[in-house]
Amino acid sequence: MPELPEAETVRRGLQAEVSGRRVVSAAATGIRSVRRHADPGEVGRRLAGHRVVGTRRRGKYIVAVLDSDQALVIHLGMSGQLVLLAPEDEPPRHTHVTLELDDRRRLLFVDPRTFGELFVTAPPAPGAELAELAHLGFDPLEDRVGPAEFARRLSGRRVGLKALLMDQRFVAGIGNIYSDEILFAAGLRHDRTSDGLTEPEARSLHRAMVTTLRRAVEHRGSSLADAQYRDIYGVPGAFQLRHRVYGRAGLPCRRCGGPVQRLRWSGRSTFFCPNCQR
């Protein structure tokens, strides 16, 4: 599933290519992809004729702000892609939403597994978050939650570290890939509890979280073997080449040389080094 670095990479592509462009028309052929709207045609009616004036991101959600003060919100789900096509290009299979832009290019929402979604929503009150995103925790790259505040929030919870990092109500944008990479960088096991960390360990976890996510954004996210994640140009990410534990079961740890282990946790795979993570 695309996580914060992949969503940020897509957002940057949208900012570069779509911000300032007017949506000439929009059509949704996949009802599940626009499921928050009772009438799929509402998406086209609310987008047509309006210009994208900017983009932002909250965790895994991408927000395109319109000149109507409405917002187009996009969540890529497990297999969603935003693809920018020239007029002569054929749309790929599983295209569920098509936005025609004023330069004749098309922005497509492609999603084979249909867990992703798009919706248009009204503007929030001044200084408030969109109502649909208000449940999310802090964004580790956008919000000012420093090491001391992060340590305080950890100490108030008694939850396994991986579960807490993946709890979108606590911190927005981290999933299975980056929770494993962050915990390895911090030298902490996934099953340590948040209230049991020392102050230096909590600060180390904060530093690992911010540094890992920033590095992943620099390398345009991670594309795994299924190649589901690509940016708006169809180019895969490169951070998977720098994974230190995720997807590397049985391979030598890049730090100590011992074998990386994999176990099942809450129906997911967890990768870690038993020597380097305590």
Of 46, 57, 58, 60, which residue is the catalytic one?
Answer: 60
Asked if 2 is an active-site residue, the reply is: yes
- DSSP for residue 246: T
DSSP per-residue codes, 95-143: EEEEEEETTS-EEEEE-SS---EEEEEPPPPTTPPPGGGTT--B-TTTS
Residue for token pair 């954004």: 217
Choose, from 2, 5, 40, 140, the residue flagged as catalytic. 2
Pick the catalytic residue from 3, 6, 132, 181.
Answer: 3
- Backbone torsions φ then ψ of 7, nearest 5 degrees: -65, -40
Report d(CA 10, CA 43) in Å as an integer: 21
Active site residue 181: no
Beta-carbon-side half-sphere exposure of residue 127 (alpha carbons within 13 Å): 0
Q: Does the active-site annotation cover 162?
A: no
Helix and strand totals (H; E) in the chain: 6, 10
Catalytic residue selected from 45, 158, 214, 268: 268
In the block, tokens 């987008």 appear at 47
Residues with a catalytic annotation lie at 2-3, 60, 268
